[in-house]
Amino acid sequence: MKILFLGDVMGRAGRRAVAETLPRLRTEWSLDFVVVNGENSSGGMGLTAAHADLLFEAGADCVTLGDHAFDQKDMFGHVEKDNRVLRPLNYARTAPGIGARVFSTASGKKVFVAQVLGQVFMRRAFADPFSAIDAALKQAPLGNANAVIVDFHAEATSEKMAMGFWCDGRASLVVGTHTHVPTADTQILPKGTAYQSDAGMCGDYDSVIGMDKLEPISRFVTGMTKSRFTPASGPATLSGVFVETDDASGKAVKAVPVRVGGRLSASGPGPLA
């Protein structure tokens, strides 16, 4: 199976890049399943129902969220209506929506997707992500599911790496999101799980993690807030990871970093013209 995971979509620039580029990649790379992290799609903070629909129309099969899951208030109701949108597993028990589910591809294969939030350096205290993902993976183990994808939305690379090894052999892909910078450690772990510490963002990299540069730089220099953060609006790079799995085991046989368009050097499993 051929799987594409795209990192955090950042504002209008990211949405535009996904809408314009993902349909072509689905065809050219013969993709079976696409996951997009959409939690910064709407003004850089959260996801609206309308923008979720746009990502699905572009070719996403599943959209994951993160610590900004409910910054846009209509998402409280939308996650109850559309279970293709996943919020983190280890949110409060009273949170609407679900954090994991089994999807079916057009060819009838089963793909289990789960998202969980890290604890280290995060702004809120969430339940233990390792216990949460452990319980989730028992719901649809490899073999019952043709592929298993884990989106670990976390700040610390050490915590992300620990999660990769915690899931090694039990997932097809463990990929980090949240920090908006693609890491250069794309690999297949010893027991067959593809891993990348951070998928990066789908956004304008002439920015500070997707935001127009002036206000973040000003805050770092002066320690004062002058205005709101505004998503950068220049040409965006689609960033993520491509994984090909073995049909029998569900484990990864190929993992390639993805960078298409914008400022970053191009990378992918096939032609990028």
DSSP state of 144: T
Cα–Cα dist 142/109, whole Å = 12
Exactly one of 68, 78, 153, 180 is catalytic; name it.
68
- Name the pairing type of β-strands 252-260 and 8-9: unpaired
Please give the helix or strand (H or E) that residue 193 lies within, else none: none
251 CB-contact burial (10 Å; exposed 0-12 / middle 13-18 / buried 19+): buried
Distance (Å, rounded) from C-alpha 93 to C-alpha 110?
26
Rounded to whole angstroms, the Cα distance separating 80 from 125 reads 24
Backbone angles phi, psi at 44, to 5 degrees: 85, -5
Residue 33 CA neighbour count, 13 Å, CB half: 27
Q: Does residue 68 carry a catalytic annotation?
A: yes
Q: Which residues are catalytic?
A: 68
